[in-house]
A and B are shown apart, each in its own frame.
Chain A
Amino acid sequence: MNKKHLSAGMVHTLLLSYTLLALWPIFLVLINSFKTRKAIFKDPMAIPTVETFSLVGFDKVLARSSFDIYFSNSIIITVVTLTLTLLIGAMAAWALSEYKFRGNLLMGLYLAIGIMVPIRLGSVSILNLIVELNLTNTLTALILVYTAQSLPLTIFILSEFIGQIPKDLKEAARCDGVSEYKIFFEIILPLIRPAIATVGIFTMVPVWNDLWFPLILAPGEEARTVTLGVQQFIGQYVTDWNAVLASLTLAIIPVMILYIFFSRQLIRGITSGAVK
């Protein structure tokens, strides 16, 4: 009994210290964004007090950039890319792992190439393509490129998971005469939910955080993403730490809120839908 308590204490100490390590740098940015310039430099680790509290950085960020537009752009791009990738990625993964057809292995290898290749290598050709399609400075351009970029890994991971699904489930349905489409949408999709949650995060993180393609394909104000907005803002106000810390805070907080919200869904998905 005693021994068990001790180990639980140790487990929590370990987890707590890592949590602290993970969150402390972010916390540091948050508190300092609410302080005066002098206070930021004088005592970086102090919580803002009545004397040191200041919103001057936020005033500047909000007056000098359109963070609201950047946010809606980033959210639209991420959500649409995620939806498209998961849907058509799961479809392709299902086709590859379920059906034995001629060229199956070849198709799998073909789709796997994308995991290995840095997509930046194709930047100039991608840009030409987007120009020809008349899609520069649109969110569509980014969505298409990000979907193409996310598909290989999505298919790779989902195939592994689909391969683990017990055969008797599908076979029972097939004996009942259920169509292949119905089997996929009604039996398989719900079963691979934990994988979808994982893949979702894998897709979402690089898409939300990408700097390169917004810079090249959609640098215009109307299609600018948060990451590009922050990067340009930092570049512009790099010596003004109030403004920089405030812009970082503005970029961090919505991601945190979104993530905490999504995270509940994800954990529920993982724990309830785990393939047994």
Chain B
Amino acid sequence: MIMTVSRKTLKSFPTHIVVFLAPAVLIYSVFMIYPLLDSIRLSFYTADQAGVTTFSGFANYVTIFTDEAWSNSFWNAFKNNMVLFAIHMAVQNPIGLMLAAILSLPRLTGRHTYRTAMFMPTMMSVVIIGFVWQLILNPLWGVAESVMDLVGLADYFEPWLGQEGTALVTISLISVWQFVGIPLMLLYAALLNIPEDLVDAGQIDGANHWRIFWYIKFPMILPAMGVVSILTFVGNFNAFDLIYALKGGLAGPNFSTDIMGSFFYRVFFGFQLQLGNPTMGAAVATLMFLIILVGIMIYLFGVQRRLNRI
């Protein structure tokens, strides 16, 4: 039955498919794909002092990987970005999963209120979040310090945002705090979609919440976990705003919070007396694209295939 319908649509290309696809494809192609292709084209050019561009093949890429100053910056940003991603995977997603699991428990009172409150930070602009946390962690204002004093830890307070060893971790945790709502939301929706009779069957068998979660629910939401992971990866490798809001274009101290997005920004648009280099920036952005592409490939052909097999 299904097959016959599919076969039929294959023969003549029906107008309704075109109608369904056309608006999205049109807007997307004009305002996203064309500008991106144009920028990739730009990465194969160099500009002289007067801004005239000439074709130069892979020269920009060769510079990035062979010139020590460039390659150091690039690999530093890449490494920091991996740290950012690792912290999100290790902290944000487990917390999101835990909260989603608790919120989806049957007969929980006040779940709407909890969920609304927990998603609140995700709704806020990075401009606001960045500023708020900067105020809280600000040694001059002393809020974080006095909170730590309440639990007797005041001596352990340090200007975390300003120290080379702690700045990146601190920013990552601020980002986790803000965006934990996203895995929470996706996993919560996935958990709600689990047929109730499956869970009921488990309950009849006398399994407790813990067992029901790990043996019945968790396998059912693995695809959603996959989606969450890949979204985290893509989001982290596109991140920029929070670093920019908290640490400015130089991503200090000593570039310890520089990630791919801030590196791209600095190269592309310049910084203070450092002039912007659009063609080099385009090359950096193309590399970011490739990194993300590799990540997605690993997901599609490694992780998802295995998930589907389960």
Contact = CB atoms under 8 A, between A and B. Distances in A.
A109 B128 CA distance: 35
A252 B124 contact: yes
Nearest to A89: B24
A198 interface: yes
Given A91-B24, A276-B195, A145 B143 contact: no
Given A28-B136, A125-B38, A252-B124, A101 B13 contact: yes
Interface string A122-147: 11111001000000000000001101
A38 interface: no
Contacts of B125: 208-209, 211, 226-227, 230, 251
B170 to A, nearest CB: 14
B271 interface: no
B70 interface: no
B24 A122 contact: no
A85 B88 CA distance: 28
B20 A95 contact: yes
Interface in B49-98: 95
B204 interface: no
Contacts of A205: 122-123
B301 interface: no
Given A107-B21, A122-B36, A126-B35, A194 B192 contact: yes
A202 B135 CA distance: 27
B36 A121 contact: yes
A19 interface: yes
A100 interface: yes
Interface stretch (B111-119, B152-160, B161-169, B250-258): B111-119
Contacts of B99: 15, 18
Nearest to A40: B141
Classify chain B's interface size.
Answer: 35 or more
A29 B121 CA distance: 13
Contacts of A209: 124-127, 241
Given A111-B25, A118-B238, A234 B127 contact: yes
Given A28-B132, A44-B141, A148-B30, A91 B23 contact: yes
A270 interface: yes
A275 interface: yes
B189 A195 contact: yes
A117 interface: yes
Nearest to A183: B16
B292 A45 contact: no
Given A148-B28, A194-B192, A18 B118 contact: yes
Nearest to B269: A123
A92 interface: yes
Interface in B177-215: 177, 182, 185-186, 188-189, 192-193, 195-196, 209
Contacts of B131: 234, 244, 248
A263 interface: yes
A14 interface: yes
B2 interface: yes
Contacts of A148: 27-28, 30-32
A67 B234 CA distance: 33
A139 to B, nearest CB: 15
B127 A122 contact: no
Contact of A121 (B25, B126, B289): B289
A92 to B, nearest CB: 4
Of A15, A113, A157, A276, chain B has the most CB atoms within 10 Å of the CB of: A15
Contacts of B39: 121-122, 124-125
A47 interface: no
Given A26-B121, A129-B35, A157 B227 contact: yes
A181 B10 contact: no
B74 to A, nearest CB: 16
Contacts of B140: 41
A171 B193 contact: no
A152 interface: yes
B296 interface: yes
A255 interface: yes
A234 to B, nearest CB: 6
Interface string B1-37: 1100110011001101101110111011011111110
Counting from the closest, the 8 A-B pairs by CB-CB distance are: A122-B35, A148-B31, A125-B35, A95-B20, A121-B285, A92-B24, A209-B125, A125-B38
Given A114-B32, A226-B125, 17 more contacts: A12-B110, A15-B103, A28-B132, A29-B128, A89-B24, A100-B6, A122-B36, A124-B278, A125-B36, A155-B24, A160-B223, A181-B19, A184-B20, A201-B123, A211-B241, A248-B132, A267-B116
